[in-house]
Amino acid sequence: MRSLLRLLLLLAICLPLGGCTKKVDPLTAAQHFFEQIAAGRAEDAYHSAAFGFQAQRSAVVFATAAKDMGLTDYVGGEWGKPEREGNTVTIRVKLQTKSGKPIPLIVTLVRQAGEWRVFSLRSPPDKDTGISENRFSLVGKTPSFVDAVTKPMPPENEVRQLVRENLLRFNEAIESKSFDAFYEAVSVHWQDQLTKGQLQRAFQPFIDQKISLAGIANATPVFDEPSAVNSDGLLTVTGHYDTQPYRVQFAMKFFYELPAWKLFGLDVNLVK
């Protein structure tokens, strides 16, 4: 009788709290993320995301991009089976919207502070290039001409140098709190699509959170897949640096403008 009373007391305490030890699984966390956006609570969705997700964009930029993508019209989705690797889970989904237009995405979540949090939203790999784009990254649109398609793939040591130089230049912009000099060093074709103000606003969260990538100066980048020059003449590079206090993941695109490859797109993720 005493054991039964103790059990009933525990239930009385746990039920109002939604369960004493119940943890939200990755699929539920991902679905809740989009439900918040659809309910007009994009800022709540933003603050529930992973550190690396928030570090790339402000809440205002996120809310605007989410609306432009049609995520505010989310009504459900065809969710695939979560694929887990360590503290990372990937889920493919075809989001359904009020207009009936599907939005295919690859949602990646990471485990932080004991909770599953959205880390990135990517498009499925392109059928021609095999590249999966971060839907919130700052990447230029393909130039109208493709002179660079005849430019041969640079050697790996040159690619490593390109990555290092551009990320260190990116870090200098964060430290100086100005992306003006960084803007002047990128591809002219990217400048045609992007203003200094847009670049500054896109990466302002890195400045606000006092992010430092200085650790990459003495580290070697690890390429997650072979770098290649695609049919549009863009050199695509993806990889990471195993640095502290966070791992730096990057995706870059370069366009060849005599006499060198110039940055044409940048996506940086930070994982604690």
Condensed to tens digits (0 to 9), the pLDDT of residues 72-91 reads 999 999 999 999 988 889 99
Among 110, 136, 162, residue at a domain's last position: 136
Q: Return d(Cα 216, Cα 223) in angstroms, integer.
A: 14
Residue 3 lies in a domain: no
Condensed to tens digits (0 to 9), the pLDDT of residues 34-64 reads 999 999 999 999 999 987 777 666 787 788 8
Q: Are residues 56 and 96 in the same domain?
A: yes
- Our count of domains for the chain comes to 2
At 203, the pLDDT band (50, 70, 90 cuts) reads: confident
Q: Are residues 174 and 260 in the same domain?
A: yes
At 163, the pLDDT band (50, 70, 90 cuts) reads: very high
Q: Are residues 117 and 179 in the same domain?
A: no
Q: What is the DSSP letter of 142?
A: P
Q: Which of 73, 78, 198 is nearest to 138 (CA)?
A: 198
Exposure of 10 in the CB half-sphere (CA atoms within 13 A): 9
Q: Are residues 174 and 121 in the same domain?
A: no
Q: The domain that contains 68 carries what CATH number?
A: 3.10.450.100
Q: Return d(Cα 213, Cα 197) in angstroms, integer.
A: 22
Among 107, 136, 165, residue at a domain's last position: 136
Helix (H, G, I), strand (E, B) or coil at 68: helix
Question: Residue 160 belongs to what H/E stretch?
Answer: helix 156-176
Q: Are residues 43 and 64 in the same domain?
A: yes
At 148, the pLDDT band (50, 70, 90 cuts) reads: very low
Report long-range pairs for 120-129 (Cβ below 8 Å, ≥24 apart): 120/52, 120/53, 120/269, 124/92, 128/230, 128/231, 129/230, 129/231, 129/232, 129/236
Q: Are residues 82 and 152 in the same domain?
A: no
Contact 188, 264 (CB under 8 A): no
pLDDT higher for 28 or 6? 28
Mean pLDDT (whole number) for 189-214: 86
Q: Return d(Cα 174, Cα 209) in angstroms, integer.
A: 10
Considering the entire predicted model, what is its pTM?
0.62
Among 113, 136, 159, residue at a domain's last position: 136
CA distances from 90 to 16, 31, 198 (A): 32, 13, 30
Instruction: Please say if the pLDDT value at position 133 is more than 70.
Output: no
Q: The domain that contains 177 carries what CATH number?
A: 3.10.450
Q: Are residues 161 and 267 in the same domain?
A: yes
Q: Are residues 259 and 238 in the same domain?
A: yes
Q: Are residues 106 and 43 in the same domain?
A: yes
Q: Are residues 34 and 70 in the same domain?
A: yes
Domain that holds residue 181: 147-271
What pLDDT is stored for residue 225 in this prediction? 84
Q: Are residues 127 and 209 in the same domain?
A: no
